[in-house]
Amino acid sequence: MLVAVLGAGYAGLTLARTLERTLPSDVDLVVVDESTDHLVQHELHRVVRRPGLADEITVALTDALDCEVRQATVTDVDADAGVATLETPGGTEETLDYDVGAVCLGAETAFYGLEGVREHATPLKRLADAREIRRDFLDLADGDRVVVGGAGLSGIQVAGELAALAGEEAIDAEVCLLEQAPEVAPAFPASFQRAVHDALLDAGVSVRTGSAVERADAESIALAAGERLDYDQFVWTGGIRGSPALDDDCPVVRADLRLGESTFAVGDAARVVDSEGAAVPASAAAAVREAGVAADNLRALVEHRHTDGGGFEPRLSRYRFDVPGWLVSVGDDAVAKVGPTVLTDRPALALKTTVGAGYLGSVGAIREATDLVREELGIGSEPTAKAVPDDIVDVSEAE
């Protein structure tokens, strides 16, 4: 019997590590990912200002996992038949037949068909994107303008890094953050929005809400209100779409995370409706927690089929989303909301760093976790190898 985990982001890596411990010993496990490394996505914006941090936020999959790891791009999934179509790095098409599997392919940047945006803007999904954003910014001159489109948490964080980089490099360039909604971080509580808005202004970011992008060319962005905004660099963090393997869609799955007869969908690859009927935001923390439910359900199906169990399939666990808090960094500052309390400055930054290091520890990357703490906070404490803390949730990938 073969269990396949398609994708090794937050959901996929957490799921695979759990399955390694809990699947029957005679069941094979394979993880498929386009990269040989796992990327800690919610720290990616830091690489714009600190290129050396790339080593601390990447973990070799073969170091984190003991199971078979295959480098390939998943191009199609038949969730009922249990068949995935793969493209190898050499361009060869292969078919992977599995008995039970999970789609954990994450999401891609959405450009919503806005004319010129894909062609002229740089997204922030991969290390190469962060390096390109840094390189282009360092080529700016005094008086130039960089526009960041989309003030979800990713946009807020990259705008904060660029403003801090401008100060460090003595570049007198404007960092302008655009958001079509009336407030930054539009999916979050009002007290959090206000604190983030203030932190952005303190960092030197100009914030323009109620400003929807209609199209872009090589020199300017056309806004829905009729204004044209000139720019010298354009970064796009305006939203997410599904994986091409799922026809660019994020299919809706219920709280048991079941996508098809043989397949579950976990993390940003799907739009999850939890056990109370609430839509779950796309986030690193949700993906990690969903992976626990998916592991239980995968194991239950495997054991049922492995023993030729007759009758009804086992009752599956259901995911319930719980939001104890929110975290976002803004340059050297940070904002955290824990219950009714909003934290800023050093306490918030320490909390966010602890969450990031705790996640790295949970996937076995103790050295990377220690280096992250040292880099971010200037201390050398050894983090404990535990999962993302139960009392706080980092949703830095939510849009």
Q: How would DSSP label each residue in 75-119?
A: EEEETTTTEEEEE-TTS-EEEEE-SEEEE----EE--TT-BTHHH
What does the angle CA 246 – CA 388 – CA 350 come to, to the nearest 5 degrees?
120
Average pLDDT over residues 14-41: 97
Rg (alpha carbons) of the chain, rounded to whole number: 21
Q: Report the pLDDT value the prediction gives residue 97, as an integer from 0 to 100.
A: 98
- Please report where in the chains the tokens 């969450």 appear, as a residue: 355
Q: Report the pLDDT value the prediction gives residue 310, as an integer from 0 to 100.
A: 67
| Residue range(s) of every CATH 3.50.50.60 domain in the chain | 2-34+72-107+242-306, 110-236
User: Could you tell me what percent of the chain has a pLDDT over 90?
Assistant: 78
Instruction: Report how far apart, in Å, the C-alpha atoms of 342 and of each of 29, 193, 211, 339, 354 are.
Output: 43, 10, 27, 8, 17
Q: Which amino acid is at 209?
A: T
User: How far does CA 175 lie from the centroid of its chain?
Assistant: 23
8 A C-beta contact, residue 224 and residue 214: yes
8 A C-beta contact, residue 333 and residue 349: yes
- What is d(CA 379, CA 312) in angstroms, rounded to the nearest whole number? 54
95: pLDDT strictly greater than 90: yes
The tens digit of pLDDT for each residue in 219-239 reads 999 999 999 999 999 999 999
Q: Quote helix, strand, coil % in the chain, to nearest 5.
A: 35, 25, 40
386: pLDDT strictly greater than 70: no
8 A C-beta contact, residue 319 and residue 334: no
395 falls in which pLDDT band (50, 70, 90)? Answer: very low
Instruction: Report how far apart, in Å, the C-alpha atoms of 167 and of each of 144, 201, 304, 375 are.
Output: 14, 14, 59, 19
The tens digit of pLDDT for each residue in 287-322 reads 999 999 999 999 999 999 877 766 788 999 999 998
Give the CA count within 13 Å in the CB-facing half-sphere of 234.
Answer: 21
Average pLDDT, the chain: 91
Domain 110-236: give its CATH superfamily: FAD/NAD(P)-binding domain (3.50.50.60)
Architecture of domain 2-34+72-107+242-306: 3-Layer(bba) Sandwich (3.50)
The tens digit of pLDDT for each residue in 340-383 reads 889 998 888 888 887 777 787 888 776 776 777 677 666 544 44
The tens digit of pLDDT for each residue in 231-267 reads 999 999 999 999 999 999 999 999 999 999 999 999 9
End-to-end CA distance of the chain: 38
399: pLDDT strictly greater than 60: no
User: How far does CA 173 lie from the centroid of its chain?
Assistant: 28
Model pTM greater than 0.95?
no
User: Could you tell me what percent of the chain has a pLDDT over 70?
Assistant: 92
Q: Is 41 helix (H, G, I), strand (E, B) or coil?
A: helix
Going by C-alpha positions, the residue among 238, 111, 114 that lies closest to residue 186 is 238
- What is d(CA 278, CA 257) in angstroms, rounded to the nearest whole number? 14
